[in-house]
């Protein structure tokens, strides 16, 4: 009987330790949604580094489209996401509890056109693709048209998945596009298109993708949120072109020459969202009709994790 009791006790202790260990594993996990684009490299690099530094494990959840990713974010199936900041702003406007805590990148967007287009004026009457109406790519299109006295009424705008744009341009279904990288570089690599403008030529220090966390995660795991955001910003500072290439080759299924070109246009060294730049975004969002009531900087952007 003593032996039986001893065995049962040992079993209970072993089960308890296993259960506790499993619980600890779950509590150390941060689920982050992303699309396989160069604009997500800072969060992908963070996932590789954070567990070694703090024990926090980032579970990367890959999606194939912005609507799928936003559904996961808005319904709380993930703790955060690397996402188009305008999409996150729209969700916040609609009452979803999220905060933007950092930029995804700096610069890194290009206006791609067919090789026979040499000026903005020649876009009139042409078909131009963007990934989503709520995007900086839509804003950049509006900016480039405005520079020539044109509006979106002067072009045929279509929404396409980023992966479809280079082949659509090569096949003549569209005449140009603006989208997250490396799909602009893909058209140049295929010799199907050319760069008409880089984003910094149209909108200096433009905001595009951002790192967004749910209010639930921030409030329930304050210390983890701080570690994660700090690590993310440090990863961006340390993301040299060489390191970015290593991460891109690991996570993005693209040829090396495409990635090399794409990474010439983007940087990750300073990922703070400033109030000045965010307010410029708000003005553009209102001017171009993306939103009538975008969230204010104080309501949407979180910078203090103390």
pLDDT value, residue 123: 97
Task: Extract long-range pairs of 250-254: CB within 8 Å, 24+ residues apart.
Answer: 250/44, 251/36, 251/40, 251/41, 251/44, 252/36, 252/37, 252/38, 252/182, 253/36, 254/182, 254/186
Residues of the chain with CATH 3.40.190.10: 29-106+207-300, 110-202
Average pLDDT for the chain: 90
Q: 298: cis peptide before it, omega within 30°?
A: no
Q: pLDDT tens digits for 76-96?
A: 999 999 999 999 999 999 999
| Strand partners for 100 | 212, 301
Report the Cα 20 to chain-centroid distance in Å: 35
- At 11 the pLDDT is 44
pLDDT tens digits for range 246-286: 999 999 999 999 999 999 999 998 999 999 999 999 999 99
Taking each helix axis from N to C end, the angle separating 256-263 and 241-251, rounded to the nearest 10 degrees, works out to 140
d(CA 278, CA 273): 7
CATH of domain 29-106+207-300: 3.40.190.10
Q: Give pLDDT tens digits for 277-297.
A: 999 999 999 999 999 999 999
**Is residue 7 over pLDDT 60?**
no
SS3 157: strand
pLDDT reading at 19 higher than 60: no
**Residue 57 near residue 30 (C-beta atoms within 8 A):** yes
* Unique residue bearing structure tokens 């005449």: 175
Residues 6+ apart with CB under 8 A from 289: none
In CATH, 110-202 is 3.40.190.10: yes
Q: Which residues contact 127 (CB under 8 A, 6 or more apart)?
A: 155, 156, 157, 158, 173, 174, 175, 176
Whole-prediction pTM = 0.88
Average pLDDT for 99-124? 96
Measure Cα distances from 154 to 125, 146, 148, 259 in Å.
Answer: 6, 11, 11, 33
């Amino acid at each position: 009987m003593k032996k039986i009791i001893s065995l049962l006790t040992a079993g209970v202790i072993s089960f308890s330790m296993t259960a506790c260990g499993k619980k600890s594993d779950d509590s150390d996990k941060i689920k982050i949604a992303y699309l396989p684009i160069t604009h997500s490299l800072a969060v992908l690099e963070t996932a590789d580094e954070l567990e070694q530094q703090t024990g926090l494990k980032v579970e990367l959840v890959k999606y194939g489209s912005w609507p799928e990713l936003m559904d996961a974010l808005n319904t709380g199936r993930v703790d955060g996401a690397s996402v188009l900041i305008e999409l996150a702003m729209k969700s916040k406007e609609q009452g979803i509890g999220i905060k933007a805590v950092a930029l995804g990148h700096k610069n890194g967007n290009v206006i791609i056109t067919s090789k026979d287009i040499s000026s903005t004026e020649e876009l009139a009457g042409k078909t131009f693709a963007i990934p989503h109406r709520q995007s900086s790519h839509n804003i950049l299109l509006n900016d480039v048209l405005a520079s020539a006295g044109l509006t979106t009424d002067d072009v045929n705008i279509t929404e396409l998945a980023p992966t479809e744009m280079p082949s659509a341009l090569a096949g003549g279904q569209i005449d140009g596009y603006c989208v997250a990288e490396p799909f602009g570089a893909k058209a140049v690599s295929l010799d199907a298109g050319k760069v008409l403008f880089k984003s910094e030529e149209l909108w200096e220090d433009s905001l595009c993708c951002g790192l967004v966390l749910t209010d639930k995660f921030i409030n329930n795991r304050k210390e983890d949120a701080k570690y994660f955001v700090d690590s993310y910003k440090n990863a961006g500072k340390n993301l040299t072109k060489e390191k970015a290439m290593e991460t891109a080759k690991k996570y993005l299924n693209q040829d090396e020459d495409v990635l090399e070109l794409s990474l010439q246009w983007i940087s990750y060294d300073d990922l703070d969202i400033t109030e000045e730049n965010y307010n410029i975004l708000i003005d553009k969002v209102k001017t171009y009709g993306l939103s009538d009531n975008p969230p204010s900087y104080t309501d949407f952007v979180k910078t203090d994790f103390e």
